[in-house]
Structure 1
Amino acid sequence: MKLCRCPVCHSDIHLDQLLEDDAGREMLGIIAGLKGNNARALVSYIGLFRPEKSGLSNSRAVKLMREVLALYQPSPLLAHALTETVNAVMKNRREGKNAVALNNHNYLKKVYEGAKPLFAVVRNEGKVDIKTAEQQAEEKRIADIQYIERYAAVGQLEIVKNMPEYATWLAWRVEKENDYAA
């Protein structure tokens, strides 16, 4: 069944021929299972491995896809790294710097590691200060005292006399006066 024409090379794409090949079926399954921009980026990336004078076989394409997905989980970071790798290699090829097909994933690894900070999630693991109930109670007591102290500074204690914070403040004042008396 003639599916359509390839937008790049304009040759006919036959779905039945692609599905007849085990590697072709597997390749379609891998691509269909990817989310976001990962599928498009991965297909572009494996194209970098195509020899100059021939096509990339389906079995080689599947092998390359498996290798990439074994190295990295599909994610926005992977899609970014794949895209950046393709863009950089294609730019070099256009400028005539390096026109040979890729033969390993070392450049992708370098780009991936370089892009990690762009996708890093800030975490404070291991440095979290877990407060005990006693510490939390003391912090609340200090906050209550500071709250009422602001009203006392402007002579407006009548406004806050019925608040629970007022009792905390009053106990603190008595404690403070006893400390000065002693």
Structure 2
Amino acid sequence: MQLTCPCCGEQFPFEAGLADEEGKRLAALFAEMPPKLAKAVLSYLRLFSPAKRSLRMSKAIRLVSDLQQLVDAGSVTRDARTTDARKATPALWVAGIEQVIVQREKLTLPLENHHYLRAVVYGIASDPAAVQALTPKTVKPGTDANERLERYYQIQNDLRLKLITPEEADKRLKELGQ
């Protein structure tokens, strides 16, 4: 079976990606993750690639393993020195990764660790409305939790930029289930 690289378009046999021991370890780490988280982490890893060469497999394994430990903890602190923790579900981590990727141009790349992501997820976890938008029980049928969070932030930004009135924002938030 041939796969096509989504970045460069090059084709390669599926087995080639798992030929070495490190490739197998990385694949096993991704297999343990919820699919949406695994997809987000794949994109997130690009932020760690040096400008003129690719990310070493050993570093990718370490990064994914470290991130999985953060997710598995079920809570997040702003940084490693603080003890003020917030509950953080995998959906919050996905939303945090997506926010970091959107801010790529503002970041100093390559990233070296997950400190910035941790701060972003902590910020999301500190926002009750964002947490509610990402909580599965509040998701309307057919609406993705990340889609809801994106809509929530869009409404907040539109209000802040005075593109909509407070009344219109309230109406949209009610439609969103807030």
One-letter amino acid of the structure 2 residue matched with residue 52 of structure 1: A
Q: Which has the larger radius of gyration?
A: 1
Q: Cα distance, 1:36 vs. partner?
A: 4.0
Matched with 2:33 is: 34
Q: Which runs of 5+ in 1 are unaligned?
A: 93-97, 122-182
Return the match for 1:101 from 100, 110, 120: 110
Deviations 1:64-119, CA, capped at 9 Å, x for gaps: 00011111236111111111111112x32xxxxx5531111111011010110221
Output the CA distance in 1 between the equivalents of 2:112 and 2:48. Answer: 6
Output the CA distance in 2 between the equivalents of 1:6 and 1:112. Answer: 29
**Structure-2 change in CA distance of 1:57 and 1:14 (3 Å):** farther
Return the match for 2:98 from 83, 89, 105: 83
Deviations 1:20-72, CA, capped at 9 Å, x for gaps: 21111111122122214101111111110000000112221111000111112
Output the CA distance in 2 between the equivalents of 1:37 and 1:108. Answer: 16
Per the alignment, in what secondary structure is the counterpart of residue 103 of structure 2?
helix
Output the CA distance in 2 between the equivalents of 1:10 and 1:33. Answer: 27
Per the alignment, in what secondary structure is the counterpart of residue 123 of structure 2?
helix
One-letter amino acid of the structure 2 residue matched with residue 41 of structure 1: A
Output the CA distance in 2 between the equivalents of 1:22 and 1:113. Answer: 34
Per the alignment, in what secondary structure is the counterpart of residue 48 of structure 2?
coil
TM-score, normalised by the number of residues in structure 1: 0.57
Q: Cα distance, 1:4 vs. partner?
A: 2.0
TM-score, normalised by the number of residues in structure 2: 0.58
Taking the TM superposition and a 5 Å limit, the aligned residue runs for 1:1-182 are 3-73=2-72, 75-89=90-104, 91-92=105-106, 98=107, 100-116=109-125, 117=127, 118-119=130-131
One-letter amino acid of the structure 2 residue matched with residue 47 of structure 1: R
Output the CA distance in 1 between the equivalents of 2:117 and 2:48. Answer: 12
One-letter amino acid of the structure 2 residue matched with residue 114 of structure 1: G
8 Å Cα contact 1:36/1:76 also seen in 2 = no
- Percent sequence identity over aligned pairs: 25
One-letter amino acid of the structure 1 residue matched with residue 120 of structure 2: V
Per the alignment, in what secondary structure is the counterpart of residue 10 of structure 1?
coil
Output the CA distance in 2 between the equivalents of 1:86 and 1:10. Answer: 22
Output the CA distance in 1 between the equivalents of 2:12 and 2:27. Answer: 13
**Structure-2 change in CA distance of 1:19 and 1:82 (3 Å):** same
One-letter amino acid of the structure 1 residue matched with residue 36 of structure 2: N
Q: Cα distance, 1:17 vs. partner?
A: 2.3
Q: Which runs of 5+ in 2 are unaligned?
A: 73-88, 136-178
